[in-house]
A and B are shown apart, each in its own frame.
Chain A
């Protein structure tokens, strides 16, 4: 009776836990958009079904063991011998399954590293508390493109990420595309990525890095080659000159306050590198490392009191009059 109840409980748990959530998702390992996540996903399902089978068999054996026999069994040598054979067979089957898993892992591992190619895009990633610094590499230094918290990649082309951290350990993880790799202080780690279909794939820091670890996200936008080239060309250009009085005033405010000490805007005097690069801020989807949508209101709130959204983060609050604040926002919104 009790064993039946336990089986029912198990079934209920499975159903409840897996119902209504599905596999698809904007940050889901079960919704692969690239070859590596796809291989890992395949391995996952193989292991899941096998393990579920093992689970079912062992629990069935346990249930059978509980229900058979009488209260005082005979412990004769014959039964013990049979039991020994069964146990030995169980150990043997376990070993075989583990070997199969091991081989599957090695084969998958090789595939994961097989993206290496000389025509890859190389991006240098530097982790900071609590944002992502990206720099598209190029042999010519002036062709390098620095941006923050959002990268675009062309569909179907491998991307090599050379990563390090400027402070504590972080971890770069965009589950739709690949497993994670840590960003270590004093080391360089390397990983490869590729997207096989266009889309926006969210990533998040996956190594506890202090107060705002929970709000250190980024997005990888995979797009067809034409679109990517257009984006990249735009990124390469320095900031658009301020067009009207409001924007100019805003730029002046930016350059005369502490903003320029931390934030770089290429083409201006603002060359600080300890905060996200802002040259094309207005073209980004989100601000504060994926925490807030990139809207005027959110930007205003962030400048005035970023601690409200991300307590403990390193951006100071700024006390600006309404006019100045609007001018500054005009300027920032012009940075397309």
Chain B
């Protein structure tokens, strides 16, 4: 592409500068980067909360934290990790990488995506401000009623929790919609559905799961706030309500939630293995089918969180069967990955090390999960430290280790520098050893009778030794994370400058500079296989198939829209300009959400600034209008007549 065209692209897609400009950015790499950093900060906060708990539990009847503070801290830990770190981090990676991986210039609905980020940020800040001023939620991250209800949960703590749910689910939903539409409609020509990278498949499955699961918890948290604020009786048994209704509503969301956290991690594994094993992934089709199957089955497991509530045994049996069945597609994935590694002598650099750590840890977690699927065994270990061990093995083993693998892998792309190898190794080993020392003893603790969510335990119980061991493990793990931060800091300043494709990977995000320009690609690529860059390299000599797209305007923010199944070019559209309105809408919406935990009048009153902000967001400026007219009437065409098939490719 000629330099003149590149300069034009730079000018067209330039991100706004300055303080106010920061709030107007809508490009997915800007928002994605902020998303990742914000989610990581919440990870650190959640980690600090974990360390505080471990200090308190290091010995019997410790007085480091009293019950009130401990109960708030374990609630904040779970809430932060699940709602403010895990899901947002996975979505953040999706936001940053998916448009690049499918060869698009931007994510679909960029302003909506930005709004999603701000709502998440403001919700997280709200939660922590309330916590630091003594109103932190203290009923656990799943906030059971009646404990969280109006009678036993005085004050605003439970309302803060419930409204945080509203913030984070709104954010997750709008980002999920943006991601789905990006993958369906903005792929590079030639990238038919059976050629999209597995990471993109994982994000799509996850986004669909978010769309079906999150509304349920939004409904539940709304009912909880209504019970607490205006006197409804959804969960009040005295007036026909039911405490178990809360559990059903929550866990119908809650179980898919953990797969929402896990499935993108499988996408990261599937992205990294081919690169480091230098071969294409083994079993693309079974892997895709496993992802989809897992996504579906995940919705049929939720009652396994309620095995001790006295539900009819036949119902419980069904959920045991389903909970065990989900191990089949997961197992298939693991076997395909091992087959990918087989005989390839992969380079054991930090991304690959964390992948191996994932195998070791997640396998343990998955196996204890199968144990928990059994009603009989679950009745002993439910709500004990055995479950705490299990959930951390699957979440840290199954998602955090892959995330760290992903951080090391995509750090060059995002930051333009290579991450340090030596520190990376130390980081890995400290995290692996620390993690296992912390959580493995907890299996034993649970079997020996230690329930969850206890701020102290009696000396005669015999739990002191294992608890101390777990705390020591926590210290080691913290050191590992600290090394990661140091590594990031040092690499940003003095790391080796990264080229376009330092790992020699196959997917399209590596087909542009590190970091990518705000228009993502110099030329829009065309794809001819599953491993875009490897196929291009191999087929380059003598192939007559087109390699790049032309005819998309560089002087306007124009993008190419393609068909859903086969990614054939269909029409072109303009991406919206940067705008302050997504941010202001998020502020207005936050005002409505926060106000409504104090008075129901906040809803109609708060709706006014929200409506104004949304209208301003949508209303076209003169500049935008003129640009659209020009783009639509390009090359002297008048707007195309309706309902006529496009001459090139089918819709």
* Interfacial chain A residues near B370, Cβ < 8 Å: 47, 51, 98, 101
Is A221 interfacial (CB 8 A cutoff)? no
Q: Which of A118-126, A133-141, A198-206, A225-233 contacts B (4 or more CB under 8 A)?
A: A198-206
Decide if B68 touches A312 in the complex (CB within 8 Å). Answer: yes
CA distance A47 to B348 in the complex (A): 33
Q: Which residue of A lies closest to B370 (CB)?
A: A101
CA distance A55 to B393 in the complex (A): 14
Decide if A2 touches B345 in the complex (CB within 8 Å). Answer: no
Please provide the chain A residues from 185 to 210 with a CB less than 8 Å away from any CB of chain B in the complex: 185-187, 189-190, 202, 204-210
- Chain B 451-475 interface mask (CB, 8 Å, partner A; 1/0): 1111111101110011001000000
Partner of A180, one of B341, B383, B448: B383
Partner of A108, one of B147, B244, B374: B374
Q: Which of A143-151, A211-219, A241-249 contacts B (4 or more CB under 8 A)?
A: A211-219
Partner of B282, one of A9, A83, A169, A311: A83
Is B177 interfacial (CB 8 A cutoff)? no
Q: Which residue of B lies closest to A68 (CB)?
A: B343
Decide if A179 touches B374 in the complex (CB within 8 Å). Answer: no
Decide if A40 touches B310 in the complex (CB within 8 Å). Answer: no
Is A268 interfacial (CB 8 A cutoff)? no
Is B22 interfacial (CB 8 A cutoff)? no
Decide if B343 touches A69 in the complex (CB within 8 Å). Answer: yes
Give min CB distance, A41 to chain B, whole Å. Answer: 8
Decide if A182 touches B279 in the complex (CB within 8 Å). Answer: no
- The number of residues on chain B lying at the interface, defined by a beta carbon within 8 Å of a beta carbon of chain A, is 95
Is B237 interfacial (CB 8 A cutoff)? yes
* Interfacial chain A residues near B320, Cβ < 8 Å: 102, 105-106
* Interfacial chain B residues near A109, Cβ < 8 Å: 313, 316-317, 375-376
* Interfacial chain A residues near B321, Cβ < 8 Å: 102
Is A320 interfacial (CB 8 A cutoff)? no
Decide if B374 touches A47 in the complex (CB within 8 Å). Answer: yes
Decide if B341 touches A94 in the complex (CB within 8 Å). Answer: no
Is B620 interfacial (CB 8 A cutoff)? no
* Interfacial chain B residues near A178, Cβ < 8 Å: 379
Q: Which residue of A lies closest to B316 (CB)?
A: A109
Is B181 interfacial (CB 8 A cutoff)? no
Decide if B449 touches A175 in the complex (CB within 8 Å). Answer: yes
Decide if A75 touches B279 in the complex (CB within 8 Å). Answer: yes
CA distance A182 to B375 in the complex (A): 14
- Chain B 235-267 interface mask (CB, 8 Å, partner A; 1/0): 001100111100000000000000000000000
* Interfacial chain A residues near B71, Cβ < 8 Å: 210-211
Decide if B360 touches A6 in the complex (CB within 8 Å). Answer: yes
Give min CB distance, B95 to chain A, whole Å. Answer: 32
Decide if B461 touches A186 in the complex (CB within 8 Å). Answer: no
Q: Which residue of B lies closest to A72 (CB)?
A: B278
CA distance A134 to B462 in the complex (A): 27
Give min CB distance, A286 to chain B, whole Å. Answer: 10
CA distance A312 to B69 in the complex (A): 12
Is A257 interfacial (CB 8 A cutoff)? no
Q: Which of A11-19, A258-266, A328-336 contacts B (4 or more CB under 8 A)?
A: A11-19
Q: A25-B462, A178-B379, A206-B383 are in contact. Are A169 and B243 (CB under 8 A)?
A: yes
Decide if B139 touches A104 in the complex (CB within 8 Å). Answer: no
- Chain A 92-103 interface mask (CB, 8 Å, partner B; 1/0): 001100100110
* Interfacial chain B residues near A108, Cβ < 8 Å: 374, 376
Give min CB distance, B441 to chain A, whole Å. Answer: 5
Decide if B338 touches A21 in the complex (CB within 8 Å). Answer: no
* Interfacial chain B residues near A87, Cβ < 8 Å: 282-283, 286, 332, 335-336, 339
Partner of A187, one of B244, B444, B466: B244
Is B308 interfacial (CB 8 A cutoff)? yes
Decide if A214 touches B376 in the complex (CB within 8 Å). Answer: no
CA distance A40 to B243 in the complex (A): 28
Please provide the chain B residues from 66 to 92 with a CB less than 8 Å away from any CB of chain A in the complex: 66-68, 71
Is B51 interfacial (CB 8 A cutoff)? no
Give min CB distance, B640 to chain A, whole Å. Answer: 46
Decide if A69 touches B461 in the complex (CB within 8 Å). Answer: no
CA distance A65 to B273 in the complex (A): 12
* Interfacial chain B residues near A179, Cβ < 8 Å: 308, 376-380, 382
Is A90 interfacial (CB 8 A cutoff)? yes
* Interfacial chain B residues near A64, Cβ < 8 Å: 342
Partner of A65, one of B341, B348, B447, B461: B341
CA distance A102 to B432 in the complex (A): 32
Decide if A101 touches B324 in the complex (CB within 8 Å). Answer: yes
Is A168 interfacial (CB 8 A cutoff)? yes
Give min CB distance, A38 to chain B, whole Å. Answer: 12
Is A66 interfacial (CB 8 A cutoff)? yes
* Interfacial chain A residues near B144, Cβ < 8 Å: 168-169, 207-208
Give min CB distance, B208 to chain A, whole Å. Answer: 24
Q: A44-B377, A91-B331 are in contact. Are A167 and B152 (CB under 8 A)?
A: yes
Partner of A184, one of B243, B339, B441: B243
Partner of A30, one of B241, B383, B447: B447
* Interfacial chain A residues near B110, Cβ < 8 Å: none
Decide if A98 touches B327 in the complex (CB within 8 Å). Answer: yes
- Chain B 615-649 interface mask (CB, 8 Å, partner A; 1/0): 00000000000000000000000000000000000
* Interfacial chain B residues near A204, Cβ < 8 Å: 449, 451
* Interfacial chain A residues near B147, Cβ < 8 Å: 168-169, 208-210
Partner of A173, one of B371, B440, B451: B451
Decide if A83 touches B437 in the complex (CB within 8 Å). Answer: no
Decide if A214 touches B454 in the complex (CB within 8 Å). Answer: yes
Q: Which residue of A lies closest to B334 (CB)?
A: A58
Is B363 interfacial (CB 8 A cutoff)? yes
Give min CB distance, B129 to chain A, whole Å. Answer: 24
* Interfacial chain A residues near B371, Cβ < 8 Å: 44, 47-48, 51
Give min CB distance, B269 to chain A, whole Å. Answer: 13
Q: A90-B331, A98-B328, A186-B237 are in contact. Are A62 and B338 (CB under 8 A)?
A: yes
Is A298 interfacial (CB 8 A cutoff)? no
* Interfacial chain B residues near A106, Cβ < 8 Å: 317, 320
- Chain A 149-177 interface mask (CB, 8 Å, partner B; 1/0): 00000000000000000011101010100
CA distance A96 to B327 in the complex (A): 12
CA distance A268 to B134 in the complex (A): 44
Decide if B437 touches A13 in the complex (CB within 8 Å). Answer: yes
Is B350 interfacial (CB 8 A cutoff)? no
Decide if A16 touches B469 in the complex (CB within 8 Å). Answer: yes
Decide if A13 touches B440 in the complex (CB within 8 Å). Answer: yes
Partner of B67, one of A84, A171, A182, A214: A214
Partner of A91, one of B332, B341, B437, B441: B332
* Interfacial chain A residues near B591, Cβ < 8 Å: none
Partner of B449, one of A20, A29, A75: A29
CA distance A95 to B348 in the complex (A): 32
Give min CB distance, A302 to chain B, whole Å. Answer: 15
* Interfacial chain A residues near B432, Cβ < 8 Å: 9
* Interfacial chain A residues near B436, Cβ < 8 Å: 9, 13
Known: A29-B447, A185-B146. 9 other contacts (CB 8 A): A30-B447, A48-B371, A87-B283, A91-B331, A101-B324, A173-B383, A182-B309, A212-B67, A213-B454
Task: Give 10 pairs: A residue, B residue, CB < 8 Å, sorted on A.
Answer: A29-B381, A37-B380, A51-B367, A62-B341, A69-B344, A91-B335, A102-B321, A108-B376, A113-B313, A173-B451
Contact surface of A with B, Cβ cutoff 8 Å: 2, 6, 9-10, 13-14, 16-18, 20-21, 23, 25-30, 37, 39-40, 43-44, 47-48, 51, 54-55, 58-59, 61-62, 64-66, 68-73, 75, 79-80, 83-84, 86-87, 90-91, 94-95, 98, 101-102, 104-106, 108-109, 112-113, 129, 167-169, 171, 173, 175, 178-182, 184-187, 189-190, 202, 204-215, 291, 311-312
A-B pairs, top 6 by smallest CB distance, nearest first, are A186-B237, A179-B379, A69-B343, A27-B449, A189-B310, A214-B454
